[in-house]
Structure 1
Amino acid sequence: MQTQRGSVKKVFTIGRYFRRKFGEDVYKVPLSIQGFTCPNIDGTVAKGGCTFCLNESFSPNLAKASKKFYLHPDSSENPLLQKQLEQVRVQYRATSRRLAGKYGVKKFLAYFQSFTNTYAPFETLKALYEEALRQPGCVGLSIGTRSDSVTEEILDYLAELSREYEIWIEYGIQSIYDETLEAINRGHDSANVKEWIGKSKDRGLKVCGHVIFGLPAETEEMMLDTVRESIAWGIDSIKIHPLYVVKNTALAVDYLKGRFTPIDEERYIKLVVESIRMLPPHISVQRVTAGIDDDTLLAPEWCRCKHTQMKHIREALKKAGYIY
C-alpha cells in the first residue's frame, strides 16, 4: 500500500490518493449536523451507545429529559431541516475558507462526521447531501455511518451521485470479533458489517473502514485480524484509532474500577506499523491515531497530544522503511 522511493516506501495516504486523482490537494470539511443520533443510542438496536462513546443516554447528568428532537429513518417530519441546511452552509464555508487561506486548497469533500449520518429519513439525507454538493469547491461527500443504518435505497442514491462526484462511505468496523462487539455494546455483529461493505462495493462506492486498537480483552493478533479481514472485505481506505477513555462513559466506569487497562503507546505503534505492512498498494490510509486534549480524557495520557503521537509513529515507520 505504498509507493516506492529508492529503498524507502511512501505510505499511500488519502492525501496522495487525492493528488493522484485530482492533480491537487483535496481537504475534507467536517460537518456536525443537529438532530442526528444513532440506533445504539436511541434504543432501536441497543441502549446506552457503545461503551466508549460519550452520549446523553448513558449520562443522565448530561440529558435534558425534555425536548430534544432526534431524527429516525421513520420520522414523519423533520422540523430541523432548514436549520440543518444552514448548518451545512455555515460550517462548510467557514472551514473551507480557512483551509483555502491557510493552504491554498481549492477542492473539498464535505465530511458528514458526527453520529450516524445515514440515520434519518431519505428525503432529509438527500436535501443535506445535495446542499453540501452545491457549496463552492465541493467535489464530493464522505459519510460516516454504521452498517446497520444504511439501506439499499441510500446506497443506490449514493451510487448515482458517484457518477459525477467523489463519494465515500465510512463504516465503523471496530473489530471483526463478535465477542468484542458485544462487550462494547455495539448493537450489531461483524457479519452485518461485511454484508453492507459488500453491498456498497457492488455499487462501485468507495469504502473507508474504521478500526480500533485496544478494545477490551483483544490480543495483538485479534487486532491485526480485524485489519486483515477488513482488507478481504474490500475496503478502499482505513482509519486506525486507539481506544481512549473519556469521562461519563461506560468504559470510564470499567477503567476507574480497574476492569479495563488502555493500550500503551509502544504496543499501539507496533500494531500500526504491522498494519501498514499488510495493506495492499491500492488501500489508502486516512488516519493512524486519535486523541483528545481536554479535561474529559481519563486515559491513556499519551493520547492527549496528537502532535507527539504522530512524531513517534513517523519515527517508527521510518525505522521500518516507510515515509508517512
Structure 2
Amino acid sequence: MYKEMLYNDLSTFLSLHFPFKVQKISINAGFTCPNRDGSIGYGGCTYCNNQTFNPAYCHTDKSVGQQLEEGKRFFSRKYPDMKYLAYFQAYTNTYGELEELKHKYEEALTVADVVGLVIGTRPDCMPDDLLDYLEELNKRIFVLIEYGIESTDDETLKRINRGHTFAQAEEAVVRTAQRGIPVGGHVILGLPGEEREALIRQAERLSRLPLTTLKLHQLQLIKGTRMASEYEKTPELFHLYSVDEYIDLVIDYIEHLRPDLVLERFVSQSPKELLIAPDWGVKNYEFTEKVKKRMRERNAWQGKYYKP
C-alpha cells in the first residue's frame, strides 16, 4: 500500500477522522516559553523567530476567538464549506496555569466550525494535570499534541539551546500516547553538525516512538536570531542544502521511517523579508510535487528501508 501511495500524507489521515475538509488556523494565544523567561533559560532556541510562522491575523492583541474568526474569513473565500482546527502554534502553548490554558482551548472550541485542537509545545511542558484534562477533552473532540523534538542528538539540542534532552522528548511522547491522544513531532533537518548518516539514524529512532504525525523542516537562517549571527561568523560550520540536495535528503529520510507515520510536511516557508538562506523560491506545494516526482524516479516509498 505505502509503495503505491509513496508516503502516508496528512490529508489521508484527516479524512479518517472527519467526513469534510479541515484546515488549521494558527493562533498566537499570548504564551511565552520557559526557554525565554528564565525558568529553563534565556534567549530561546538559537534558530527561533516566531514572526516566521505567524500569519497576519495572528496577533496577541486579539482574542483567540477573534483570531479564529479572521482566519476563517481568510480561508472561506476559497473554501466556503471548510471546517477548522484551532492551531495553538506560537511559543509554548501548554506553559501556564491550568485554568488559563483550559479557558483558551475552550474559547477556541466555541467558535463555529472549529472541530478540533492542535497544540504545539515543548516536551518539558506537559504536566500530569494538563494531560488528565486533555485526555478527557480528546474523548469528545479531536486533539493533537505536537512536540518540538528538533533533533535526537543531545549535543545538537545543547548547541541550539533547546533546554531539554531527547530522553525528555521520548518520555513526553510516550506519556501522551498512553492517554490515547494523537501525538505529533517536529524536527529540523540540517542543523549544524548533523550530516546525512546522523539524520538517517534520527529517522530510525523517531520511528520507535508512538508518534502519529511527523513534520520535517529544512534549516533556515532567520534575521535577528543567534544562529544567524553564528553563521555570519563561522559559515563553514553550516551546510545549507540546495533544493535538489534537500529533496534527496528528505527521500532518504522517509525511506527509513515507519510506514504508518503520517508525514505532515517537508519544508517551512519563512517570510522573504526575514529569510537569510536558503532562499529556494519554491512554495510548499511545489516542493511536495518535486518530492513525489523524484520518489517515482528513484522507485522510493516511505518505509522502504525501515526495520522494525
Give TM-score, length-normalised by structure 2.
0.87
Matches of 2:133 and 2:298, distance apart in 1: 42
Structure 1 residues 95 and 200: CA distance shift in structure 2, 3 A? same
The CA distance in 2 between the partners of 1:305 and 1:3, in whole Å, is: 25
Aligned equivalent of 2:72, options 96, 108, 116: 96
The aligned runs of 1:70-109 (5 Å cut-off) are 87-109=63-85
**Whole-Å Cα distance in 2 between the matches of residues 289 and 238 of structure 1?**
12
Question: Which of 290, 296, 305 lines up with 1:318 in the alignment?
Answer: 296
Q: CA deviation at 1:98?
A: 3.1
Displacement after TM superposition at 1:38 (Å): 0.7
Give per-residue Cα distances to partners, 1:170-192, cap 9 Å, x unaligned: 00111111000011111011111
Cα offset for 1:308? 4.8
Q: SS where residue 240 of structure 1 aligns?
A: strand
Following the alignment from structure 1 to structure 2, what is the Cα–Cα distance between the partners of residues 123 and 320?
A: 51
SS in 1 for 2:280: helix
Q: Which runs of 5+ in 2 are unaligned?
A: 52-58, 303-308
**1:140, distance to aligned residue in structure 2 (A):** 1.1
Alignment check: 8 A CA contact 2:255 2:300 kept: no
Q: Deviations over 1:107-136 (max 9, x none)?
A: 211100110000111111000001111111
| Distance of 2:61 and 2:221 partners within structure 1 | 33
8 A contact 1:111–1:144 mirrored in 2? yes
**Secondary structure at the residue paired with 1:147?**
coil
Match 1:127 to one of 90, 98, 103: 103
Give the number of equivalent residue pairs: 293
Deviation of the 1:86 alpha carbon: 5.4
Cα offset for 1:103? 2.1
CA change 1:289–1:21 in 2 (3 A) is same
**1:223 corresponds to:** 199
TM-score, length-scaled by structure 1 = 0.83
Superposed, 1:65-214 pairs within 5 Å as 87-214=63-190
* 2:267 alignment counterpart: 289
Find the counterpart in structure 1 of residue 211 from structure 2: 235
Aligned match for 2:240, one of 237, 252, 263: 263
| Alpha-carbon distance between aligned partners in 2 of 1:228 and 1:303, rounded to the nearest angstrom | 31
What amino acid is the match of 1:45?
A: I
Partner of 1:32: 28
Q: CA RMSD, aligned part only? A: 2.4
* Closer, same or farther: CA 85–130 of 1 in aligned 2, 3 Å: farther
SS of 2:135's equivalent in the other structure is: helix
Which of 12, 15, 31 is the aligned partner of 1:16?
12
Where do 5+ consecutive residues of structure 1 fail to align? 57-82
Letter in 2 for 1:49: G
C-alpha deviation, 1:210, in angstroms: 0.3
Cα shift readout 1:140-166 (whole Å, capped 9, x = no counterpart): 100000011110111111010010111
- 36-45 vs 46-55, which deviates more? 46-55
**Mapped partners of 1:152, 1:85: distance in 2:** 30
Deviation at 1:301, TM superposition (A): 2.0
